[in-house]
């Protein structure tokens, strides 16, 4: 069966009043609109339009959560656990109330993610920068005591990035953190490109320890249609832009700054992967009628479909969700009624539907379970 899906945007402070509104050709919102969830996650299951939510149909078994994400300011720096780490952590916190702000694990699942840019520019911090590049960058930040201490930690031989993260989040004095941030703001113009996202984080979160963490991370800019896969253990933070995000159905987040929320430094350090390196961008093929974004997980798969007026039959691994992101998107099953999916809305196809018929002209994203390992 096919079910129309909508949801109310979540009003997180980092959201935008215009990005989702512009996508849907409506006036700006009176406040921030950050995320629209299309899934059956108990935190905010999608609406079916008849008083029910999607979990009434699925039983809460959908292995992924699909979102529209609109960032006007940096999200918290965060990392997600492996499935094994999530199971152990969830069991360990069994005696902590689920709504306790100090709880780290809300479920026993991992949370790999994929973001695909819808805006012409989508900015993110992703992974820890190659160590030689970070050492070079910090070497140019002057000689304030906080900068000198950070430089000493990065020069170490035994996991220097983990040592630097621990110092930034727990051991550094407020004065040392302020000295590093001031040095970033005063840095030479030659480093402005690499430091731009860090400076903007400092403007939004003055004095936040996460600004020092951001200094250690890769800055990434996605063009429309490009994607970024975020594996377990990878530090990341979206900074600005509109995107389609898909993830395993989990709410396990360990934060590392740029947030007033709970930060458990010891737990974050037990989960984070400090292997440095650039995170590869999944490039876009602007002329492709169908583009896949291959990811090494079985929880989800995502395809971007460019549609014309001719109906196209597509094989799917149900349960699937079609999210309209441009133009007119029409969806049916062979021999069935046609549904018009408006931009910013979605359609759920139950697992017994193995073929969908789509037409445009328009653009849609198709989410489905991934191939079994």
pLDDT tens-digit map of 33-77 = 999 999 999 989 999 999 999 999 999 999 999 999 999 999 999
Mean pLDDT of the 200-227 span:
96
| C-alpha span between 258 and 76 (Å, rounded) | 5
Mean pLDDT of the 129-133 span:
95
> HSE of 99 in the Cβ direction (CA atoms, 13 Å)?
1
CA distances from 193 to 71, 186, 217, 221, 242 (A): 20, 13, 13, 11, 21
Of 30, 62, 32, the C-alpha closest to 44 is 62
| C-alpha span between 206 and 225 (Å, rounded) | 33
Check whether the bond before 301 is cis (ω within 30° of 0): no
Q: Does the annotation mark 255 as catalytic?
A: yes
What are the pLDDT digits (tens) for 139-174?
Answer: 999 999 999 999 999 999 889 999 999 999 999 999
Mean pLDDT of the 307-336 span:
95
pTM of the model: 0.95
The pLDDT of residue 96 is 94
Q: What is the largest CA-CA distance in the chain?
A: 72
The b-or-e profile of 123-132 (16+ CB within 10 A means b, else e) is bbbbbbbebe
> HSE of 237 in the Cβ direction (CA atoms, 13 Å)?
30
- Residues whose CB is less than 8 angstroms from the CB of residue 91 and which lie 6 or more positions away in sequence, other chains included: 108
User: What DSSP assignment string belongs to 267-300?
Assistant: HHHHH------PPPEE---TT-SEEE---S-SS-
| C-alpha span between 295 and 371 (Å, rounded) | 10
Only one residue has tokens 């996650």, namely: 41
| C-alpha span between 10 and 114 (Å, rounded) | 19
187 confidence band (pLDDT: 50, 70, 90) = confident
The pLDDT of residue 159 is 95
The pLDDT of residue 188 is 77
Residue 306 near residue 281 (C-beta atoms within 8 A): no
DSSP E strand boundaries for the chain:
2-5, 35-38, 64-71, 78-79, 113-117, 122-128, 217-222, 227-230, 236-248, 254-255, 281-282, 290-292, 301-307, 312-315, 320-327, 329-332, 339-341, 346-349, 355-359, 362-368
Catalytic residue from among 106, 149, 209, 255: 255
| C-alpha span between 231 and 147 (Å, rounded) | 30
In the predicted structure, residue 190 carries a pLDDT above the cut 60: no
Percentage of the chain exceeding pLDDT 70: 99
Mean pLDDT of the 101-108 span:
92
What are the pLDDT digits (tens) for 251-286?
Answer: 899 999 999 999 999 999 999 999 999 899 999 887
The pLDDT of residue 192 is 62
What are the pLDDT digits (tens) for 217-246?
Answer: 999 999 999 999 999 999 999 999 999 999
Reduced to 3 states, what is the DSSP secondary structure of residue 368?
Answer: strand
Only one residue has tokens 């697992």, namely: 351
The pLDDT of residue 287 is 82
């Amino acid at each position: 069966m096919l079910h129309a899906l909508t949801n109310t945007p979540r009003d997180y402070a980092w959201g935008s009043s215009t990005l989702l509104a512009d996508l849907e050709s409506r006036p700006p919102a009176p406040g921030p609109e950050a995320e629209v969830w299309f899934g059956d996650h108990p935190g905010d299951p999608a609406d079916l339009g008849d008083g029910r939510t999607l979990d009434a149909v699925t039983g809460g078994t959908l292995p992924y959560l699909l979102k529209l994400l609109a960032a006007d300011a940096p999200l918290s720096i965060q990392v997600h656990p492996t499935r094994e780490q999530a199971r152990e952590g969830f069991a360990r916190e069994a005696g902590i109330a689920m709504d306790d702000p100090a709880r780290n694990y809300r479920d026993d699942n991992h949370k790999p993610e994929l973001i695909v840019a819808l805006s012409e520019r989508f900015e993110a911090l992703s992974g820890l920068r190659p160590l030689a590049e970070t050492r070079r960058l910090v070497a140019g930040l002057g000689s304030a005591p906080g900068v000198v201490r950070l430089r000493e930690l990065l020069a170490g031989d035994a996991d220097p990035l983990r040592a630097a993260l621990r110092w930034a989040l727990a051991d550094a004095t407020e004065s040392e953190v302020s000295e590093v941030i001031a040095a970033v703001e005063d840095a030479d113009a030659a480093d402005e490109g690499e430091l731009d996202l860090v400076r903007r984080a400092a403007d939004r979160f003055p004095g936040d320890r996460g600004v020092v963490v951001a200094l250690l991370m890769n800055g990434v800019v996605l063009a429309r249609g490009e994607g970024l896969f975020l594996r377990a253990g990878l530090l990341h933070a979206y900074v600005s832009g509109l995107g389609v995000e898909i993830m395993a159905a989990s709410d396990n987040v360990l934060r590392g700054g740029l947030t007033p929320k709970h930060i458990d430094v010891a737990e974050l350090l037990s989960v984070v992967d400090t292997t440095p390196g650039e995170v590869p961008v999944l490039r876009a093929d602007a002329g492709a009628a169908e583009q896949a974004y291959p990811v090494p997980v079985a929880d989800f798969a995502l395809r971007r479909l460019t549609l014309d007026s001719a109906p196209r039959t597509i094989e799917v691994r149900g349960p699937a969700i079609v999210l309209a992101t441009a133009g007119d998107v029409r969806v049916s099953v062979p021999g069935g009624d046609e549904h018009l999916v408006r931009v910013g809305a979605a359609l759920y196809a139950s697992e017994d539907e193995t073929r969908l018929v789509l037409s445009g002209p328009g653009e849609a994203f198709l989410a489905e379970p991934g191939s079994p390992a």
